[in-house]
C-alpha cells in the first residue's frame, strides 16, 4: 500500500471581487502518493496557482481541508504552517529559488543555519553528484547556465528531505534538451526518494515524465486519462 503524502479534501476557494464572489477553485479532491510525479496543466487564470498555493499552505481554503502526511495542515496558524513548510515541502520555482549572493553550496548550508543544525554533509555531496552539480558548488547562480541553475534548485529543494516537492514552471527558461534533462532528473529523484512531486507546467512535452496529469479549467480539477 502506497503512502499518501498530501491530500486535498473538498477544498474550495472564493474571492471577493467588488460585490461579487468569484469561485476560483470548485470543490476539489486530490491525492498524491509517495513516488508519484504529478503534472498540473491548464490555461492561465484557470486556478493553477490557487490550487498550488492552497496545497502549499500559502492561502487558506474557503472550505475543505489539506492534509500533509496524514496530518491537518490548512487549519494550522500561519506561523505553524511556515514551520511545516520549511520541513516538509521543497520548492522549485520558475526563476529558480536560488539566492543570488550565495554559492550553490551555501544555498544548502543556509537551510542548516535556519534550522540551527549541523546538516548532513554526505547527503549534500551525494545530491550534488546525483544532480551533476558537484563541480559547480562554489559558483554563484549568475555564473551558471539555466539548466545548471535548475539542477541546483532541485538539489536545494531535496536537501532537507521534504515529503512533497512543488515545482512551478521549472523548465520555463530552458531549451528542450535542458528541460528534458531537468524534469527527468526530478522524476528520477521523486521515485528514488519516495517523494510526491507536483509540477505545474505549460509545456505539454514534460508530461511524458509524469505518472498522472491533472488539468484545471475554470477552477475545476480533473485527471487526464491517456
**Contact between residue 117 and residue 87 where contact means Cβ atoms under 8 Å apart:** no
Among 34, 84, 134, 137, binds other proteins (CB under 8 A): 84
The three-state (H, E, C) secondary structure of 132-161, written as one string: CCHHHCCCCHHHCCHHHHHHHHHHHHHHCC
- Single out the residue of 3, 10, 14, 95 in contact with other proteins (rule: CB under 8 A): 95
Of residues 113 and 184, the one with the C-beta less far from other proteins: 113
Using alpha carbons only, give the angle 46, 51, 53 rounded to the nearest 5 degrees.
125
Please state the three-class secondary structure of 39-88 as a single string. EEECCCCCCHHHHHHHHCCCCCCCEEEEEECCEECCCCCHHHHHHHHHHH
- Enter the C-alpha cell of residue 42: 491548464
The answer to whether residue 215 forms part of the interface with other proteins (CB under 8 A) is no
In the complex, least distance from residue 151 CB atom to other proteins, rounded to whole angstroms? 17
Asked if residue 110 binds other proteins (CB under 8 A), the reply is yes
Q: Judged by CB, which is closer to other proteins: 53, or 193?
A: 53
Q: Cell triple for residue 198?
A: 507536483
201 binds other proteins (CB under 8 A): no
22 binds other proteins (CB under 8 A): no
Asked if 67 is part of the footprint of other proteins (rule: CB under 8 A), the reply reads no
Tell me how many residues contact other proteins (CB under 8 A).
39
Mark the segment that binds other proteins (CB under 8 A) among 9-17, 163-171, 179-187, 205-213: 163-171
Q: Count Cβ neighbours within 10 Å for each residue of 200-216 and write b for 16 or more, e otherwise.
A: bbebeebbebbbbbbbb
Minimal distance in Å, beta carbon 121 to other proteins?
16
Binding site residues, other proteins, CB under 8 A:
44, 48-53, 56, 58-59, 79, 81-87, 89-91, 93-95, 97, 99-102, 106, 109-110, 113-114, 140, 166, 168-169, 200
Amino acid at each position: 500500500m502506497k503512502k499518501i503524502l498530501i491530500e486535498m479534501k473538498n477544498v474550495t476557494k472564493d474571492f471577493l471581487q467588488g460585490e461579487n464572489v468569484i469561485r476560483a477553485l470548485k470543490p476539489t479532491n486530490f491525492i498524491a502518493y509517495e513516488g508519484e510525479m504529478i503534472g498540473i496543466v491548464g490555461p492561465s487564470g484557470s486556478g493553477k496557482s490557487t490550487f498550488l498555493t492552497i496545497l502549499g499552505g500559502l492561502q487558506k481554503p474557503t472550505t475543505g481541508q489539506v492534509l500533509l502526511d496524514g496530518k491537518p495542515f490548512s487549519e494550522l496558524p500561519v506561523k505553524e504552517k511556515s514551520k511545516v513548510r520549511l520541513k516538509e515541502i521543497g520548492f522549485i520555482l520558475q526563476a529558480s529559488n536560488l539566492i543570488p549572493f550565495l554559492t550553490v553550496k551555501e544555498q544548502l548550508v543556509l537551510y542548516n543555519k535556519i534550522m540551527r543544525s549541523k546538516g548532513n554533509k554526505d547527503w549534500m555531496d551525494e545530491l550534488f553528484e546525483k544532480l551533476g552539480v558537484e563541480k559547480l558548488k562554489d559558483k554563484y547562480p549568475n555564473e551558471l547556465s539555466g539548466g545548471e541553475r535548475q539542477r541546483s534548485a532541485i538539489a536545494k529543494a531535496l536537501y532537507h528531505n521534504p515529503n512533497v516537492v512543488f515545482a512551478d514552471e521549472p523548465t520555463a527558461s530552458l531549451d528542450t534538451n535542458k528541460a528534458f534533462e531537468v524534469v527527468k532528473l526530478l522524476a528520477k529523484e521523486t521515485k528514488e526518494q519516495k517523494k510526491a512531486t507536483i509540477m505545474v507546467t505549460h509545456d505539454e512535452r514534460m508530461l511524458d515524465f509524469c505518472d498522472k496529469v491533472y488539468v484545471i479549467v475554470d477552477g475545476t480539477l480533473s485527471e487526464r486519462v491517456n
